[in-house]
């Protein structure tokens, strides 16, 4: 059975010392997954840091970055001092999972949302 990007992200965060939780929820009435504030799949904390993550496959990263760029919630999170990232997973040539991370604070200027 394939491991989801969310599961891989949780594992990596926990190995790095983060306390992490899935904040994306299944809405059975609408039959869709709903992200926290429409943008986050995972929230992670460790002393002095809060991180919000959108998890996806590497092939969907550009779409997710555009989605988050249009969100007022991301602008608010960045202004609140959170880090907001998109983590895209793919298998390398040797069959090992690798992760590319895009930090929204480096891509977009806070306050332009």
Residue 2: both structure tokens together: 């394939």
Q: What is the CATH number of the domain that holds 10?
A: 3.40.1350.10
Within a domain: 65 = yes
Within a domain: 57 = yes
pLDDT score of 19 more than 90? yes
Tell me: the pLDDT tens digits for 51-89?
999 999 999 999 999 999 989 999 999 999 999 999 999
Q: Which of 47, 42, 48 is closest to 86 using CA atoms?
A: 42
pLDDT score of 16 more than 70? yes
Domain hosting residue 15, numbered range: 5-107
- Would strands 49-57 and 83-91 be described as parallel, antiparallel, or unpaired? parallel
Q: Which residues contact 34 (CB under 8 A, 6 or more apart)?
A: 24, 25, 26, 27
Q: Model-level pTM?
A: 0.89
Structural domain total, the chain:
1
Rounded distance between C-alpha atoms, residue 84 and residue 57, angstroms: 17
If you search the block for the tokens 């790095």, which residue do you land on?
A: 16
């Amino acid at each position: 059975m394939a491991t989801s990007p969310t599961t891989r992200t949780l594992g990596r965060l926990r190995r790095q010392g983060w306390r992490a939780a899935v904040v994306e929820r299944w809405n059975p009435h609408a039959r869709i997954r709903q992200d926290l504030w429409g943008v986050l799949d995972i929230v992670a904390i460790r002393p002095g840091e809060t991180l919000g993550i959108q998890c996806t496959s590497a092939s969907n990263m550009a779409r997710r970055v555009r989605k988050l760029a249009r969100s007022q919630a991301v602008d608010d999170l960045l202004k609140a001092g959170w880090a907001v990232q998109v983590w895209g997973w793919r298998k390398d040539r040797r069959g090992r999972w690798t992760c590319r991370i895009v930090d929204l604070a480096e891509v977009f200027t806070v306050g332009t949302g």
